[in-house]
Amino acid sequence: MSSNQKTKKIVWGVTIGLAASAAVLSAVISVKVLGLLEEVGNQNREQPKQITASEIASIVQDTLEAKERAVSAELMDTALAPWEAARDVKERVYGNPNARFSIVTFSDLECPFCKRFHNTPKEVVDASSDNVSYEFKHLPLDFHNPAALQGSVMAECVAKELGNKYAWAFIDQYFQTTQTNGGGVADLDNFAKRFGLTSSQIAACKTDKNIQARITGDLEFAREAGVSGTPSSYVVDTVGGKSIQIGGAQGAEVFMNAIRSLLEDDKEQSEE
């Protein structure tokens, strides 16, 4: 081997050794740097904040209220679902407000027969393909007051603040919850809050002259029609102009027969 070859071999070996050493050193430095950064990060990390008892109570309260709102929203969806056909109208009408036939019912929210009857007109409407509507008229009877009147006021409060569909859901849930015969719903204000009303809205509705006028108007309408008991209904043909009165908690077939009778009368008049 020539001297030049030996020299090249030595240089090559030194170069490889230096490269290996540099790689090892770089790895060691990297590990140390990472460790140092982690240590610095740990030192700079904020210490856990000390929470007072009142703050804990506030957090717990907020969590419970959030959970309650979520549950209320779910319950509200369930309560509203059956009343989707209630359009956004001022009157307490379920179904097509322009339907040819309307079942107009005078009802008392504390009347046990009204409670049993309430869903019957709804069944007729739901099966009518928009040809029948159901209109609720307030007739809180004296011997069921103040609970019956208070329930009517709150139903109209829900209608005013949240809309017609919510009012129908409220009436339905009231009937399901009330003790009837003047026993009312336990804590009516809190019951109404489940539908989204606030304390200030509830307080304002109790003295709202428009709400009072609406209920008074229904009472006067009942007196003019000679209605003194509940439930009392009229099946009205808005085209033919005739109506049939149906007293008591009758079944759906009675109302269907009344509609058939009105149709036959209109047909006979048209043929004359």
Question: What distance lies between CA 41 and its chain's CA centroid?
Answer: 49
Coil, strand or helix at 93:
strand
CA angle 168, 112, 137 (to 5 degrees): 40
Residue 193, token pair as written in the block = 């809050």
CA distances from 143 to 149, 177, 178 (A): 11, 19, 15
10 Å Cβ neighbour count for 265?
14
The confidence score (pLDDT) of residue 95 equals 98
CB 83 within 8 A of CB 168: yes
For 9, 48, 78, 148, 178, the CA distances from 187, given in Å and listed in that order, are 100, 43, 21, 14, 11
Task: Locate 205 and state its tokens.
Answer: 């509705």
At residue 94, the 3 state secondary structure works out as strand
Q: Looking at residue 206, what is its pLDDT?
A: 97
Query: 255 φ, ψ to 5°?
Result: -70, -35
Q: What's the pLDDT at 238?
A: 96
- The predicted model scores a pTM of 0.74
pLDDT at 47: 56
Q: CA 188 → CA 56, 153, 195, 210, distances in Å?
A: 31, 11, 11, 20
Helix (H, G, I), strand (E, B) or coil at 110: coil
Q: Which amino acid is at 143?
A: F
pLDDT along the chain (272 residues), means of 10: 40 38 42 44 56 80 66 81 95 97 98 98 98 98 98 98 97 98 97 94 98 98 96 97 97 98 88 70
Element (H, E) at 173: helix 164-177
Handedness of CA 115, 121, 125, 127 (dihedral sign): positive
According to the model, what pLDDT value does residue 29 have?
38
pLDDT at 72: 67
What is the Cα–Cα distance from 59 to 70, expressed in whole angstroms?
A: 17
